[in-house]
């Protein structure tokens, strides 16, 4: 049986947030697998995983304004980046690894991995850019 490698399988719409509905389904899955008294199939004869996959497929993909921005994985200029990511304008040169003035999806994916790896990623990035962090070190 193959397992998803990380929690995104709870986050159906991959917006980085786990909604109540998403968590509820996940919670039910856990019960299906860990609690012997839970029925392994529902009235339709579906297993917990089949139900989960069906619900995941039907999950509403409402592009909320915040989500719409986070689906973007490339920016054609620093100005464009600054418009979308006003709160972290300073990080553009850190993500733009090849210094071509654009952020492509590979560069964006790299920063996402970096963020997952380091809880203090903003401090680390600032240091690498030679910026002083706003708070005392």
The partner residues of 75 in beta bridges, in order of sequence, read 103
Residue 3 — pLDDT band, cuts 50, 70, 90? very low
Mean pLDDT over 63-88 rounds to 75
Mean pLDDT over 100-124 rounds to 93
Q: In 3-state terms, what secondary structure has residue 41?
A: strand
Residue 33 sits in which domain range? Answer: 7-58
Phi, psi of 41 (to 5 degrees): -130, 155
pTM above 0.85, yes or no: no
41-66 confidence digits (pLDDT tens): 666 777 666 766 777 776 665 544 44
- 13 pLDDT higher than 70: no
Cα–Cα distances in Å, from 121 out to 34, 35, 70, 91? 36, 39, 18, 11
User: Are 54 and 90 within one domain?
Assistant: no
Number of domains in the chain: 2
User: Are 51 and 76 within one domain?
Assistant: no
CA distance 24 to 45: 20
CA distance 131 to 41: 56
CA distance 61 to 93: 32
């Amino acid at each position: 049986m193959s397992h998803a490698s990380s929690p995104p399988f709870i986050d159906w719409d991959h917006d980085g947030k786990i909604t109540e509905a998403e968590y509820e389904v996940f919670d039910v899955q856990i019960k299906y697998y860990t609690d012997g008294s839970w029925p392994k199939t529902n009235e339709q004869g579906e297993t917990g995983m089949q139900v989960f996959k069906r619900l995941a497929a039907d999950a509403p993909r409402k592009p909320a304004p915040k989500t719409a921005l986070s689906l973007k994985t490339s920016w054609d200029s620093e100005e464009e980046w600054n418009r979308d990511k006003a709160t972290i304008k300073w990080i553009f040169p850190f993500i733009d690894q090849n210094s071509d003035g654009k952020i492509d999806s590979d560069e964006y994916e790299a920063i996402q991995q970096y963020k997952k790896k380091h809880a203090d990623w903003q401090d680390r990035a600032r240091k690498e850019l030679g910026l002083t962090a706003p708070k005392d070190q």
